[in-house]
Amino acid sequence: MSIAQHFATRAARMKASEIRELLKLLDRPGILSFAGGIPDAKLFPAQAFAEAYAEIMAESASKALQYSVSEGFLPLREWIAGQMAKIGIPCDASHVLITSGSQQALDYLGKLFLSPGDTALVNWPTYLGALGAFNAYEPRYDRLDVRGNRPASDYAQAADAAGGRVKFAYLSSDFANPTGETVDRTGREALLDMAEDLDCVVLEDAAYQSLRYDGEAVPPILALELARKGDLDACRTIYCGSFSKTLSPGLRVGWVVAAQPVIQQLVLMKQAADLHSATINQMVIHKVAETCFDTHVDTIRAAYRSRRDALLDALARHMPGGVTWTRPEGGMFVWVTLPKGMDAADLLARAIAEHDLAFVPGRAFHADGSGGNTLRLSFSCADAAMIEAGMKRLGQLLRG
Amino acid sequence: MSIAQHFATRAARMKASEIRELLKLLDRPGILSFAGGIPDAKLFPAQAFAEAYAEIMAESASKALQYSVSEGFLPLREWIAGQMAKIGIPCDASHVLITSGSQQALDYLGKLFLSPGDTALVNWPTYLGALGAFNAYEPRYDRLDVRGNRPASDYAQAADAAGGRVKFAYLSSDFANPTGETVDRTGREALLDMAEDLDCVVLEDAAYQSLRYDGEAVPPILALELARKGDLDACRTIYCGSFSKTLSPGLRVGWVVAAQPVIQQLVLMKQAADLHSATINQMVIHKVAETCFDTHVDTIRAAYRSRRDALLDALARHMPGGVTWTRPEGGMFVWVTLPKGMDAADLLARAIAEHDLAFVPGRAFHADGSGGNTLRLSFSCADAAMIEAGMKRLGQLLRG
């Protein structure tokens, strides 16, 4: 028997990720990898975590090791509500669900909204992990025009023709993975207008929002909608946050802030899917966040800012003509566009084989398989010498 | 706008659990609750966990706090493979996926196999959380006859008439939640025969398998199938294990053992759904398991055995005629059947209001809504005095 013949139809949409297969090649010494996109482990507040685990185990071991509620650890939800208020989203714990990283929030939101054939609006390119999460629910993708130049009726007709409805527009609002770009306030307001016209949900992925290195902070989309409506429970924007890029990804703690009916349905979903996120990790994240969140975020912003500056500087010196790139105000990524006709996947094979250099080719971030001449560079784990050597190699590769 | 009108069709199947709503009532002091079904927090190996967190943070903080692979922490997968060999399932790490508790395994397996309208075979009653997990994938349920007296063609025709196929038979093989019953070897072999005839998967939920208090261990269903076929990759049984009932549920660490093609697809699913289970918790569970798994399991078995004995003894003394109950050889539960026509949900309302007593009415465990005259008692967190007082009250309630 072949057990695969018993798989649900959705399994056909769940394939190995290009990035994942790629990362397996990068263990060998000497390779300069700009592929990863993970935080620098040297910057984790390890001492604060060590102390927090020790304190929680000394004070509350029985609670930390036991089952807990699906909504999440109440003091952590209250702390998050306090943080949200600081960025224009006053709310209380009833609007907050703890998830196992924001990746789980994307999975649950796909599960909550998408029936097969429904449409999800996403950027071309968009976060690869969002496509991965949504794919399990067999949606159709359409290209989100953040500027609002495409009329809502156009999206709706295309979705209808495909046998479903536009359920949501997904976007990473600040320093997006993979482009590093931020949607400005005008774009956010236009997106909200479009969502009203189309009567769809907005999924705001704020995973990188705390990592701003310069420029003015833009209010979250949810804050802008709340300012219009005055009532969080009337808002259609669902905000996904994470501690993975600020404190630690290894504990798997993220959160969703949304209208109560959404949170209540997500709680039921989480209860059915994994009961709750790890109790002890929620308690520890709460303790560390209370102790040092703001100062720690300042520390990592300073470190990543100088790496971004070094990368932009090295690109300017080493890239040949015809190559362009984004200039992110935060986050971990610079997005490079090669001359038309070049293929970044082919280039990667040569980069690894001939130059001990790695990056992520851009096609996988495009729901329609376009973007062959694009690539993503991550600067989060690179020091100045590595950046200089890496961009020099990339320049040689592009010229050769 | 009502955001609920945007929900996918599956959301209609995801409703609040009776147990969950009930548990909210049980915080008040003085209530004798046999409802919970959670491990006794006083029995957690808290010292071993405290030391393991301290050691991991001292030795490997960068790794413990960082992203890790979707398959799970390799040394833990290897340790699990070693444990599986001891119960007749020799395998290696490539057959093991780490999940966030076995609840997540049930969710992923529903996601992997069930298209809407497919049939899942389950016991009447079965684990409530399995129904919750599977419901999201909109299956039809049919009643599993473990004894194999119902011909495979009968299941298949009914599934076909409902527009799908029988994808799997799910069962808790040892000391099941909620009945406490164990499927004997003859039943397991008959189930495997039926699965061969029907060409469906067997999901073996082994969450309680380590908690045997007396009687002979029965080989896992997967071990019996492996003995027939000689090749794990040819087996249709998928084994779900958990540390929640042995070491700690709060860390959310469970596992799946199955043929490699199943594990590989589940890895892709996990990568898309939450990337990986918490890195640090996998490392800590591995350390604690290596240090004290067998001796700790011996300790909790002794404690739970005496509670089970006390409960069976008290039931014998306090239950009126016409009430029957199971005599489990392990686990956490005794299943009580009241005289026909009695309704355990009505009884619970009176038990809470008049007797400060709680249990779980049995209907929620039945996919067809039957079982109104059944209830579940958990003895895992009850001491002898509580058991005596509680069963005395239950007897009074049933007589009154």
- Closest-CA distance of chain A to residue B201, Å: 8
Number of helices (H), then strands (E), in chain B = 12, 13
pLDDT of amino acid B150: 87
Residue-wise pLDDT tens digits, B337-362? 999 999 999 999 899 989 999 999 99
- Closest-CA distance of chain B to residue A121, Å: 14
State the best of B73, B280, B285, B378 to mutate against chain A, taking most chain A CBs within 10 Å: B280
Asked if the interface predicted TM-score (ipTM) of this complex is over 0.90, the answer is yes
Domain pair A3-45+295-399 / A67-291, same fold = no
Do the Cβ atoms of A170 and A134 come closer than 8 Å? yes
Instruction: Return d(Cα B50, Cα B45) in angstroms, integer.
Output: 9
Q: What would the DSSP string read from start to end of A255-319?
A: EEE--HHHHHHHHHHHHHHHSSS-HHHHHHHHHHHHHHHHHHHHHHHHHHHHHHHHHHHHHHHHP
Cβ contacts below 8 Å, chain A against chain B, sum to 248
The region of weakest confidence among A115-119, A389-393, B20-24, B112-116 is B20-24
- Closest-CA distance of chain B to residue A214, Å: 26
- Closest-CA distance of chain A to residue B17, Å: 8
Do the Cβ atoms of A272 and B132 come closer than 8 Å? yes
Do the Cβ atoms of A256 and A238 come closer than 8 Å? yes
Instruction: Return d(Cα A368, Cα A365) in angstroms, integer.
Output: 9
The region of weakest confidence among A179-193, B16-30, B94-108, B127-141 is B16-30
- Beta-carbon separation of A49 and B62 below 8 A: no
- The token duo for A70 is 């699906």
**Listed ranges B4-8, B143-147, B322-326; the one with the highest mean pLDDT:** B322-326
What are the extents of the domains in chain B? 3-45+295-399, 68-291
Burial of A317 (0-12, 13-18, 19+ CB in 10 A): exposed
Mean pLDDT confidence for B207-236: 97
pLDDT of amino acid A21: 67
- Beta-carbon separation of B63 and A53 below 8 A: no
pLDDT of amino acid A147: 73
Q: Which residues partner with A259 through β-bridges?
A: none
**Phi (first) and psi of residue B47, to 5 degrees:** -65, -45
- Cα within 13 Å of Cα(A113), Cβ side: 30
pLDDT of amino acid A149: 79
Look-up: residue for tokens 């008290």?
B314
Select the residue of A53, A168, A277 nearest B53 (Cβ to Cβ).
Answer: A53
Q: Which residue of A has its CA nearest to B253?
A: A278
Instruction: Return d(Cα B244, Cα B331) in angstroms, integer.
Output: 12
> Does residue B70 surpass a pLDDT of 70?
yes
- Residue A390: partners with Cβ closer than 8 Å, 6 or more residues away: A32, A34, A314, A357, A382
**DSSP at B212:** B
Query: What dotted CATH number matches A3-45+295-399?
Result: 3.90.1150.10
State the best of B56, B67, B70 to mutate against chain A, taking most chain A CBs within 10 Å: B67
Compute the CA torsion angle B81, B84, B89, B95 (nearest 10 deg).
-30
Amino acid at A94: S
* Length of chain A in terms of residues written: 400
Quote the mean pLDDT of chain B. Answer: 95
Closest alpha carbon to B268 in B95, B69, B134: B69
- CA A266-A269-A272 angle, 5° bins: 150
Q: How confident is the model at residue B28 (pLDDT cuts 50, 70, 90)?
A: confident
pLDDT of amino acid B22: 65
Q: What percent of chain B has pLDDT over 90?
A: 90
Q: Which CATH number fits domain B68-291: 1.10.3720.10, 3.40.640.10, 3.20.20.70, 3.10.20.600?
A: 3.40.640.10
Select the residue of A38, A46, A115 nearest B61 (Cβ to Cβ).
Answer: A46
pLDDT of amino acid B27: 66
- For residue A249, the chain B residues in CB contact (below 8 A) are 65-67, 275
- Beta-carbon separation of B129 and A275 below 8 A: yes
Residue-wise pLDDT tens digits, B248-289? 999 999 999 999 999 999 999 999 999 999 999 999 999 999
Select the residue of B11, B250, B273 nearest A112 (Cβ to Cβ).
Answer: B11
pLDDT of amino acid A150: 87
- For residue A1, the chain B residues in CB contact (below 8 A) are 199, 234, 236
- Beta-carbon separation of B280 and A250 below 8 A: yes
- For residue B118, the chain A residues in CB contact (below 8 A) are 8
pLDDT of amino acid A1: 59
Q: How confident is the model at residue B205 (pLDDT cuts 50, 70, 90)?
A: very high
Residue A238 CA, distance from chain mean position:
14
What parts of chain A have a pLDDT lower than 50? Answer: none
Q: Which residue of B has its CA nearest to A24?
A: B69
Q: How many CB atoms are located within 10 Å of the residue B120 CB? A: 30
Select the residue of B167, B244, B272 nearest A136 (Cβ to Cβ).
Answer: B272
Q: Which CATH number fits domain A67-291: 2.40.100.10, 1.10.260.40, 3.40.50.300, 3.40.640.10?
A: 3.40.640.10
